[in-house]
């Protein structure tokens, strides 16, 4: 595959997934190599982030629509190598080998929604329901972007609200080795 075709495939993937160029380029090359070997590329499993209309005022709903954020731009993808979390302009990629456990979370959000980081815990939610917690070791770090106020935060634990929390837990339990699984 020529450099121009790789670049075009990477840019198309960037537009589709919102990945940075290097990640999109790496995946485009993997897809091309798999296609040459006759292996169909695995489709990422997508899990929608749960949103609740309760507590969202008209201004926030209008701003979400204006900036193309909110339910349409938020998702969680499970690839064979990593978990990608997207909420509006916020992006986090977690290597699957770093996930130590996955379980339902009893965390109290106290009515907050959005992306919140505190002491290694990252909360990505649009609702207080359907929360799933992943324990991450070694920790991963957020990128320095405007959505993170140009800081790099350590992430040891990720809590996310999902429409189908049990589906993600089941999908990860099949991928994680038995000694790393966390079940509740």
**Structural domain spans, the chain:** 3-36, 45-180
Distances (CA, A) of 41 to 25, 34, 38, 83: 15, 6, 9, 16
Neighbour order of strands in the sheet with 90-95: 45-47, 74-78, 82-87, 90-95
As a whole number, the mean pLDDT across the chain is 76
Q: What is the pLDDT of residues 71-124, one digit of tens each?
A: 444 555 666 778 888 777 778 888 888 888 999 988 888 777 778 888 889 888
Q: What is the pLDDT of residue 133?
A: 93
- Regarding pTM above 0.75, the answer is no
DSSP letter, residue 130? S
CATH class assigned to 45-180: mainly beta
């Amino acid at each position: 595959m020529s450099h121009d075709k790789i670049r075009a495939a990477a840019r198309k993937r960037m537009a589709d997934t919102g990945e940075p160029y290097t990640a999109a380029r790496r995946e485009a090359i993997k897809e091309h190599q798999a296609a040459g070997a006759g292996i169909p590329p695995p489709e990422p499993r997508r899990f929608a982030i749960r949103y609740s209309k309760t507590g969202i005022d008209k201004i926030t709903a209008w701003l979400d629509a204006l900036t193309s954020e909110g339910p349409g731009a938020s998702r969680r993808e499970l690839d064979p190598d990593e978990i990608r979390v997207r909420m509006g302009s916020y992006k986090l990629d977690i290597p699957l080998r770093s996930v130590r456990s996955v379980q339902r979370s009893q965390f109290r959000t106290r009515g907050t929604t959005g992306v919140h980081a505190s002491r290694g815990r990252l909360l990505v939610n649009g609702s207080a329901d359907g929360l799933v917690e992943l324990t991450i070791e070694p920790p991963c770090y957020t990128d320095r972007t405007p959505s993170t106020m140009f800081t790099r935060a350590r992430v040891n634990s990720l809590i996310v609200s999902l429409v189908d929390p049990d589906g993600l837990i089941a999908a990860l339990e099949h991928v994680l080795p038995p000694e790393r699984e966390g079940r509740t």
